[in-house]
A and B are shown apart, each in its own frame.
Chain A
Amino acid sequence: NAGVTQTPKFRILKIGQSMTLQCTQDMNHNYMYWYRQDPGMGLKLIYYSVGAGITDKGEVPNGYNVSRSTTEDFPLRLELAAPSQTSVYFCASSYPTRTTNEKLFFGSGTQLSVL
């Protein structure tokens, strides 16, 4: 039962570097999400996707890009890393919550530091 798998678990970047956080799910969920978690701030939605080929901005999309070429994968791209992007990143997936009463499944997170 893999669920939602995120890689890497930890990463240190220098300012201006780029990287891609990988997320894959094996539950055939339509919906996928990227959140960032900062201490005392809860989770903020960065981007989400309602299906392959469809993505949309969340609350804090600046500095990030996403793509959804397949149902399974939803990578998050940081093009020019900045210290403000130091955070813990969570990927999540679900069926539509309203209609099917499915819950949100979370990955175990990626801890990113930008120095």
Chain B
Amino acid sequence: AQSVTQLGSHVSVSEGALVLLRCNYSSSVPPYLFWYVQYPNQGLQLLLKYTSAATLVKGINGFEAEFKKSETSFHLTKPSAHMSDAAEYFCAILSEGGSEKLVFGKGMKLTVNP
């Protein structure tokens, strides 16, 4: 079964610093991968997705992620953190077998310090 792993549950960065949120996947077929963001007291919103086109995917709010098959990774980055980036971030993979179910990682809470 396909899965994603987000190690750790909390990342803290200073405003203006690099944001790096790690996600590793497990899949026996070429994966479809996603990053979602959840702001406090809201539902999830799509940041970006990889669907086997370009390996470097650009999303909203200056975020991007690079698909690396050799490392089975899909890490999320942003060059310069902003206070408004404080949120919880979820990596997800589309399950194989023709169904349209997303399997989510446990999430990573990002804190941005002034």
Contact = CB atoms under 8 A, between A and B. Distances in A.
Contacts, number: 59
Interface residues of B, number: 23
Contacts of B9: 40
A109 B43 contact: yes
B100 A50 contact: yes
A115 to B, nearest CB: 21
Contacts of A92: 43-44
Contacts of A104: 34, 36, 44, 46, 102
Contact of B106 (A4, A40, A97): A40
Interface residues of A, number: 26
Given A40-B106, A42-B107, A43-B90, A97 B100 contact: yes
B42 A108 contact: yes
Contacts of B42: 108-109
Interface of B: 6, 9, 32, 34, 36, 41-46, 49, 51, 90, 94, 100-107
